[in-house]
Amino acid sequence: MLSLDPAWPALALSLKVATWATLLNAVLGVAAGYALARARFPGRELCDALLTLPLVLPPTVLGYYLLVLVGRQGPLGAWLKDSFGVSLIFTWQGAVLAATVVAFPLVLKSARAAFESVEPQFEQAARVLGLGEWGVFFRVTLPLAWRGILAGLLLTFARALGEFGATLMVAGSIPGRTQTLSVAVYEAVQAGQDATANLLVAITSVTCVAVLLTVGRLAPGRVAPKAV
C-alpha cells in the first residue's frame, strides 16, 4: 500500500522554501558578488572566504550557528521576538533562512565570476555616454553577466531543494509545516515506509537533474561576450 500522504505537502513546502531562498539570494548573493568583483578594499579575499564558509561547513554545524543566532536567547532571535514578535525556530521561514545561508556561496561565486568577466571598458563606455552608476549596472553590467548569475541561481535552487542538516536543526520536522522533501525522505526510511521514500527520492532526483541540465546549457559558451 502506497502511503503518499507526507510526500506532496513535503514537495510543496520544499518548492516554496527553495523559491524563497533563491529569491533572497538573487538579491543578497548578487549584491555580495558584485561588491567582491568590483570594490577594492583590504580584506576582500578574507571576506570572500568567510562568505563561502557555508559551502564547506557541515550543515549541522551551520544549523547550530543559526540556532545560536536566531534562537530565543540569540542576539538576532531576541531582537526579532522583542521587535516583531517573530520566532524563526520551527517555522518554514526558519527553513528558508537555513536554505538561504547554505546555498548563498553558490550564487556568490557564480555572480562574482560573472561580474569579473564583464570587461570594465563596457562600463566606461556607458559612463562617458552619460550614465550614472545604477544605469551602468542595470543596462550594461547585469545584461552581460546574467547567464552566469542565472546558472548560480539555478544551482542555489537545487541546493536549497535538497537542504537537510541545517533545515532540520533550525526548522525541525513537523509534517505538513516544516517537513521538507529531504527531511521527509529521512523520516520515511526511519519509519520503514519504502514506497514513500522511493517516490520522494525519485522526485528529488528528477528535479535536480533537470536543474543541472539547464545550468549546463547556460554555463558554457558565451557567458559574457567579449569586446568586438
Partner 1 sequence: MQFEVDISKTVGDSRRRFTLAVRFATRGPRTIVYGPSGAGKSMLLQVLAGLKRPDRGQLRFGDETLFDAARGIEVPARARRFGYVFQDYALFPQLSVRQNIAFGLSDGLRNPTAHVDHKAVNRWLAAFELDGVAAQKPHELSGGQRQRTALARALVNAPRALLLDEPFAALDPELRARMRHEMERLLDEVNIPMVMITHDPEDLRWFGADAIHLRDGALETPPPRPSVVVTPFERARG
Which of 119, 175, 208, 214 lies at the binding interface for partner 1 (CB under 8 A)?
Answer: 119
144 touches partner 1 (CB under 8 A): yes
Cα distance between residue 75 and residue 80, in whole Å: 9
Let me know how long the chain is: 228
130 touches partner 1 (CB under 8 A): yes
Which of 87, 139, 198, 219 lies at the binding interface for partner 1 (CB under 8 A)?
Answer: 139
Spell out the alpha helix ranges (H) of the chain: 7-38, 44-56, 59-70, 75-84, 92-116, 120-128, 133-136, 142-161, 165-171, 181-190, 194-218
Cα distance between residue 55 and residue 214, in whole Å: 22
Q: How many residues form the binding site for partner 1 (CB under 8 A)?
A: 23
Which of 50, 60, 138, 212 lies at the binding interface for partner 1 (CB under 8 A)?
Answer: 138
Straight-line distance from the first to the last Cα atom of the chain, in angstroms, rounded to the nearest whole number: 63
Q: How far is CA 166 from CA 63, 98, 123, in A?
A: 4, 6, 40
- 197 versus 224: smaller Cβ distance to partner 1: 224
Tell me how far, at minimum, the Cβ of 144 lies from partner 1, in Å.
7
- 139 versus 177: smaller Cβ distance to partner 1: 139
Tell me how far, at minimum, the Cβ of 153 lies from partner 1, in Å.
19
126 touches partner 1 (CB under 8 A): yes
Binding site for partner 1 (CB under 8 A): 119, 121-122, 124-132, 134-135, 138-140, 143-144, 225-228
